[in-house]
Structure 1
Amino acid sequence: MTVIKRAPLRQRLRPWISGFDVPLLIAVLWIGAWGLLCMYSAGYDHGTRFGDHARNMLLAWGLMLVVAQVPPQRLMALAIPLYTLGVLLLVATLAFGITKKGATRWLNVGLVIQPSELLKLATPLMLAWWFQKREGVLRWADFVAAFGLLLLPFLLIAKQPDLGTGLLVLAAGLYVIFFAGLSWRLVIPFLVVGVIGITAIVVSEDHICQDEVTWPLLKPYQKHRVCTLLDPSKDPLGKGFHIIQGEIAIGSGGVTGKGLMQGTQTHLEFIPERTTDFIFAAFGEEFGLLGALALLVGYTALILRGLMIAAAAPTLFSRLMAGAVTLSFFTYVFVNMGMVSGILPVVGVPLPFVSYGGTAMVTLGLSLGLLLSIGRVKKLVKT
């Protein structure tokens, strides 16, 4: 009779935990810990927000660890199906979607989903696959086709309208195209035009922000957001209220903050969306400058580590995806903190692992899982 001895638990788990990028995991855990603390402090009197946030975070981390087990080559095979599915869902959303507050962003497929979230990952995945297939034989026509693949989901999302999510998808795709070898000679003219355009808007703000002036390509509410950013006092009880109260909350926190659950602007309901888009205002009020710096240390460590993984990735697909995921994470942080502190227009962009929101949390978990997968393959190859 043959006796088969079962391997110890540690030995059975070793294939799952070996090769993980420890600095990246530490950064994620550090940010997550601050996110949970902030959600408890800002949302303890806001229904079940803290419990739901903790559940969403555990789900995102679980998906992150599962995706990290999948080799990048297999993930690359999902590029076309995910991108195609995402675009079809966006088309279906425009035709049959659920409209709330004038925006058609949700689709009922048995459960209510927001298809645009899928494109945050599917679009850069598709573009990285595109450039991997053309490695060594890239021509200008390939970049034109790549811009076409990027603009299709961006325009469908902007049509909903959801400019915040659309810009995140656009940024993720542009990172892939830039890392694929787009010449600076083509990038610099757009940067110059952007700087000139922003300067012109600031200088002519008194004229172009009049009610009778129509801005091309933008909805009236989008024009109002930009004009409110330039002068929040013009609408102190409307759109300007968000910016003014956010700045007051952050400034009143001082160096050390008012303390856990002690934010007056937060708990007296002066900060709108205090557990979602404007949670950094609540964070700044209760944890102050030192708390904000501690959170920024985590984000900086994650971004720097992600760029190191991208630089050392073994294939073009891996390098493009790692770079896009890392800089997309930077975009989330920069845009959210910028809009809360009054240097960018207010758009619906969450603060990663701190803002409440299940769909965005899952998307971030999947993205970081892909980054871990790329870093893990490199380490396993070395060993």
Structure 2
Amino acid sequence: MKHEDPETPSSAGSPRRSRVELWAPFLVVAVVAAVVWASFWSDSAVDDVASDRSTASQATAADVADDTDDTDGSREDAGERTGSAGAEPENVEPEQLEESVRRFRAAQRRLAARVSRQVKEVQRRTTEPFEFQVASYNVLGDSHTGPGGNKPGFPDGGPRMDMSIAALRNNGIDVVGFQEFEQSQHGMFTSRAGEYSLYPGMSLGNKSVRFNIAWRSDVFQLVEAHTLSIPYAGGSRIAMPVVLLESISTGRRAWFANFHNPADTPNLGNNARWRAEAAAIEVAHLTQLHQTDGVPVIATGDYNEREEIFCRFTAGGVFTAAAGGSSAGGCAPPPSMQVDWIFGSTGVSFAGYSVTGTGQASDHSMVHATATLTGDDAATTGDPEGDLE
């Protein structure tokens, strides 16, 4: 569909066109003629005009529009003093031409200065460190505590969700990766914690809803989202979320991914093979995302591993764990480990890592930390590709 510029009246029943609109083509021609004629008077003047045009070419179309009055005034002066587009140059006084060119160049210099200030401000905001709270939290699926569930000593899903929301609010969590987040819990959360947005929500069905990422809508906005197909128990594939979020206050961006790798249980069997395959897919995909355009990456999840998953994520030197540990000279995990983890790529630093019990809200603690997007590897306006599976 062809869209009509709202500032350009249609041909039928249009309001009368303004003087600037009617004369703009002729004024542009007149200015060009004036600049050509100026070359006969001073080679240096022509050089100045070329230099100023090069500087002004950095201005955006929106900024040029802001200075329409200045530039149109200069063009009108030039048009009045040179006559129509076909006027002979002999009718132009050198002093008049120089004044018109001077005013035109001055307007362009003002535009260039304004754009330069705006660019510097954007660069400052999008490269300065940005700090927020991130968490990983297995909420214990509603089916585990309902009729016939395997956790009979826990309250049902409703009271547990209230406790979980309170834990998020009390710890100021801005972004959280949920696991075992079932459809009923999704409904409870969205109706009781409206300050958060979610992906994928229920858009991918009852399987993928269990791995939602939630973020505070007044802190981040969603830029892009896709999923990664991860082998779960027995190798069955489930789509798990990856989102690109942007800080509303600074424009800083980061990728967030959330995973749940299969456990070994009497019902599920031994899934070490699938955990290893899942981790390989996760690390490879997130490493590629980060290396494509330098945007930092944070991964949350219940990986159902301790030392093994730490070593898998940190082996390449791209990721570190919020819980600590080191990969320099070999794999040295932190002394105390959960099966729930937060990992960050280069460009992310962590502080204040905590394991917070949530009472009977879940059989898992909530792990969380202060994450900082540092000035390193800052990238804000890339166009990463993501395929929704």
TM-score calculated relative to the size of structure 1: 0.27
Larger relative helix fraction: 1
Larger relative strand fraction: 2
* Structure whose CA Rg is larger: 2
